[in-house]
Every structure is written in structure tokens, then in C-alpha cells.
Amino acid sequence: MSRFFSSKYAGLVPYVPGEQPRSQEFIKLNTNESPFPPSSQALRAAAEAARRLNLYSDPECRALNAKLAEVYHLAPEEILCTNGSDEILNFAFMAFCDADHPAAFPNVTYGFYKVFAALNGVPYEEIPLREDFSVNVNDYVGLNKTIFIANPNAPTGLALPLADVERLVKGNPDSVVVVDEAYVDFGGESALPLVHKYDNLLVTMTFSKSRSMAGARLGFGAACKALIADLNAIKYATNPYNVNGMTMAAGIGALEDEEYTRANCRAVMETREIVTAALREMGFELGDSKANFVFPRHPKIDGRKLYEELRARGILVRHFDTPLLARHNRITIGSREQMNRLLDALENILEEC
């Protein structure tokens, strides 16, 4: 840190992204990317859009908003596209949280919420999960804070039924409830239909997982027009050209190829069920994930050691160095072949311990 760095950020503990090794040798199961390439329609559209990179991108994102509106049965004014869903989450902290509207989220959830809160000087409460890592909705009803709920949650993979999400939104009529649906396409129930019913609900989604576009950085939020207008005010005060032209075009291409996305999601879910059963067979304990990852632990080996043993065998998974999660690993669901390699490696490691 230089002597010029603002004291405002002195206590900031940045989010630590998963490793992104340049070597292709690793089987990469650590950052919940898709094992499948982007849709060929997305790739063609991006290549075509590259020819216009001399121009700024459309700050209103009109073509992409119109396509999203069609696919998700929303009005274009109920949508805001961002540079990954991380950006809309940060915008939500900026727009809807302050000392009078502190944030609240589960004590095990997406690690970036804490960082966004700290970055924006927002006080926050972390609400403990139940012992089985499930969210107790009763803890959130009448909370009167800006609530951030990942559904399915990360890194647990556990999902709340839509009725519970609705209870949460209804139970906090004077606060904004942000439902982060980064993983919803892998078996969760989306709260998007509730956007027309409640003026305090923001649903965020991403193209990073189910649409295989993590590197393109495209996310969006859906909410009533007034909330989207607030978020737009933040966008235009920070980065009006937040989504680049190639990404916009690729997003439209992907949305025109929904059958490809659905087939990939089905493949990931099928593989997840096979892997879950195989892990349980080996003595791992894990919940029923509704995301593109699983979150197992084994009574014989702790998470750090398992991470290291897998890494030594060329497989990257995620380990979180916190007391609550130390025994676990988060493992992305890759291709069938990658998961077979993972299961072989795990068998080998368990034999040795």
C-alpha cells in the first residue's frame, strides 16, 4: 500500500478470487465455470461485434435488454445489464444500503457481499445458517435491513423454495431484498415472476455459469422500474459503458440459442447427481446441491489437505480457510470425463489416509 492510499479503505479485506492458472494441465473445478464452450451463436455474434470496437458500446444496452425482456417476460425498463453480476451486486450495496439501511446476509454465503459492504462503508449483520447450512427464513422476516440472499446459496449449493423467498420479500416490505440467482439454472426456483408483484425485490443473474460466458463478464438485475432507475443512477455515475459491445452481442447470441444452454444445464445436473451418489458411497457427507458445484466433507480428511492432495494430482478445487468451512471443499461439476478423473483421484487419496 502506498502512502497515498485513502485511509477510507485501510481496513478493506479484498475478495480473493479462485486460482486461474495459465497452465491447461489442471482440471479446473475451483471457480464454478462451465465445462462447455459458449454457444456458437454467441461466438459468431461476438466476432462480428469486434469489428465495431472503435465505437463506444450502447450505454442503454437496448438490443440486449429487449432480448432479455422477451426471454424472461419482463419490460426492458425492468432490466439492467452489468459487467458480471458482481457489478449489479455492488450497485445494490451503493443504491440501497447506508447507516440507516444496513445489509444482512447469511454467515456462509458469497464472500463478495462482505467486501462490497466494507467498500461502501455499509454496516452489515451476518445471520447464522442452521447446522445443516440451510437458511432459516424466520430469521429474516421483519428484519428491516437490506437483505442479500444467494439462491441457491454458495458455497453450500442449498436452495430455498420460491414460497420461502416470497415470505422473505413480503416480510420486509420497507427494505430491498436482493436475490442472487447466479446458480438458479441448475435446479433452483427463480423469483423473477415476483418482480411484478413486489416493489422491493431485485433478482440478479449471470451469464457466467449456465451460459458459459464467465470471461465475457455479463450479468443483469431485474426489478420494478423504480429500483432499476435507482441502479441506473449509480451506473451512470460510475461507468456508463459498463458492458462492452462484444459481450452485448455474445449475450444476445446466447439468448437466441436457449436450447444449447438448457442441454448443458441438464448435462451438469445429471453429472452432479452421479457425482453426489459416488461421493456418498466413498463416505463423503454433502447436501443436495441445486447448483453447478457440490460441497462435500469427509470424516477422514480435512478440506485443506484434500485440496492439496488433489492439486498434487492436477485437479483444482476450492477450499475456504474459515473455521466453519475448514472441513469442506467446493467442487465444480465439470464434464463427465473430468469428474471420473476426480473420483479416481479421491479414491486414491482416501486409500492413502
Return residues touching ligand PMP (CB under 6 A): 32, 84-86, 110, 150, 154, 180, 182, 206, 208, 214, 219
Q: Which residues lie across from 112 on neighbouring strands?
A: none
Residue 99 C-beta: closest distance to ligand PMP, Å: 25
> Which of 112/198 has CB closer to ligand PMP?
112
> Which of 85/190 has CB closer to ligand PMP?
85
The C-alpha cell 482440471 sits at 27
Residue 214 C-beta: closest distance to ligand PMP, Å: 5
**Cβ-proximal residue to ligand PMP, closest one:** 84
Residue 2 C-beta: closest distance to ligand PMP, Å: 28
> Which of 184/195 has CB closer to ligand PMP?
184
> Which of 63/214 has CB closer to ligand PMP?
214
For residues 348 and 313, the answer to whether their CB atoms sit within 8 Å is yes
Residue 227 C-beta: closest distance to ligand PMP, Å: 18
Residue 236 C-beta: closest distance to ligand PMP, Å: 20
d(CA 104, CA 56) in angstroms, rounded, equals 37
Instruction: Let me know the angle formed at the C-alpha of 119 by 130 and 239, rounded to the nearest 5 degrees.
Output: 120
DSSP state of 301: B
Residue 33 C-beta: closest distance to ligand PMP, Å: 9
Q: Which residues lie across from 177 on neighbouring strands?
A: 147, 201
Give the DSSP letter string of 308-340.
HHHHHTTEE-B---STTTTTB-BEE---HHHHH
> Which of 211/297 has CB closer to ligand PMP?
211
Per DSSP (E only), the strands in the chain are 27-28, 79-82, 103-106, 124-127, 146-150, 177-180, 201-206, 219-223, 293-294, 315-316, 331-332
> Which of 182/228 has CB closer to ligand PMP?
182
